[in-house]
Structure 1
């Protein structure tokens, strides 16, 4: 009988602790000896199956040579709140906190994304991303927008790694026709899509406007799957004031069914590319 699935925060803490141990050149046996426990306990902590006390956490961080106080504080907060099954990260656009989302993006080996009116973040151009941010009713300021655009472009680096994640994107045709930033920006964006879909790990399918009612009418979402089989999938639904993360089997299975249903309605990748070319030619 399997144990409880790791929570979102505990999963993140496990990933960071494992990375810090490896960076320090320590083994799980070394960590266990430091804590005075069996290696199996360290293994369960690093798989997200077991929480860690704040005393043990601080002892390990000291053992791993972690000196950055901000990093220590982040890990302490993750440990304190690690029993919570999911949460809404309250964050206005003026003070965005994308650390968890980016962490999932960087560690996932399979990303599924469904978008309606916007181009998926990993496929956006800088000009398109800037136009989206400038459309926010709350003024962000040029410096903040610059930093957010830079962060979005850096996120796309996951597709250029030696072992990039598999990225499967379903876009509604609306996103191809919406003149975000004007005609010139959209021409650049659609041309970029045609270039990106040549990537061997990227699949892009478009749902035509005329398809009618479908399972994606409730809005966009992103799903992450990880190489570690002990980590459950995570569903991310972004909204105006925060981000909702879901990971229970019932939630992830429901969104998997929705995504598969949308994929069955969407055009093939080749036909989707043709539709993008048509949208581009109309500009």
Structure 2
């Protein structure tokens, strides 16, 4: 199979996990290649996510790597078997890869938890709200890229609207509910949209009020995507230039604890809806 010129985030993660299993077993790429009766370049390209691997080969490698975590092996097999072409693929080569990686991460997660301090979470944004955010970019986006970014942002809503959506807990600071992104009407419409989404069984929205003061993680936007098995969980952080994706156990534990603390200081879902109603009526 020839190398992929545009590896997906999921393919790259599968490669990372296979490399971790190989290194834990103390095997070289040449030894792994011998298991598959191939050459080391195939192993290197697979671990880099540059091309796919069959489910059967995943099982064979896991067995020879002495991996006894059957849940992890089955999760990796599912990753290798999945041939989903997500809606985000239409933007490949057009938008920065990070945009696609975030959408893909959201789509394949079992559970999502997000905290944000100054803006509404991406999948919850209305078109008017998203347009106002991208209009504030420096340098100014070219018209075509501006429209493409807005379209991609709005389509992230699909993860909430599909037949089997993941559970989504959104922890939003009160500041994000009051900053008039796009003006009073755009913000009012955005707040009503959040209220509507909060009525869904799979969506939980909690607001951290100004009165909560300081709390762990207050300076970051955090997206925690829980996978089939905990070792495949991913945390995505917004950075100044590109998003950062973390999957080391200590980092996962740290950000899970931060989100736990945020939920404790946040208003209950019922109190949250009451506050959002109040803010919307003021606009």
TM-score (norm 2): 0.70
Deviation at 1:218, TM superposition (A): 2.6
Query: 1:232-253 deviations in whole A, cap 9, x for unaligned?
Result: 2111111221011111111010
Runs of 4+ in 1 over 3 A off after TM superposition: 7-10, 12-17, 37-49, 93-97
Q: Which runs of 5+ in 2 are unaligned?
A: 1-8, 18-45, 84-88
The residue number in structure 1 matching 2:207 is: 206
Matched, 1:265 2:265: yes
Report the equivalent of 2:116.
115
Indicate conservation of the 8 Å contact 2:95/2:149, yes or no.
Answer: no
| Displacement of 1:8 | 7.6
What is the RMSD of the two structures over their aligned residues, measured on CA atoms? 3.5
Are the counterparts in 2 of residues 14 and 45 from structure 1 also a CA contact under 8 Å?
A: no
In the aligned structure 1, how far is the partner of 2:205 from the partner of 2:191? 12
Q: Which residue does 1:185 correspond to in 2?
A: 186
SS in 1 for 2:13: helix
State the partner residue of 2:5: none
Equivalent position SS for 1:98: helix
Q: TM-score, normalised by structure 1?
A: 0.70
CA distance in 1, matches of 2:225, 2:120: 18
CA 1:151–1:41 in 2, change beyond 3 Å: closer, same or farther?
farther
Aligned to 1:244: 244
State the SS of the aligned residue for 1:136. Answer: coil
Where does residue 13 of structure 2 map in the other structure?
A: 11
- Secondary structure of the residue that 2:250 maps to in structure 1? helix
Match of 1:77 in 2: none
Which fold has the larger relative contact order, with Cα–Cα distance below 8 Å and residues 6 or more apart in sequence? Answer: 1
Do the aligned partners of residues 13 and 156 (structure 1) sit closer, same or farther apart at CA in structure 2, a change above 3 Å counting? Answer: farther
Number of positions where the alignment pairs a residue of Structure 1 with one of Structure 2? 227
Who is 2:143 aligned against? 142
Q: CA deviation at 1:155?
A: 1.4
What 5-or-longer segments of structure 1 have no aligned partner?
1-6, 22-26, 50-56, 65-70, 75-92
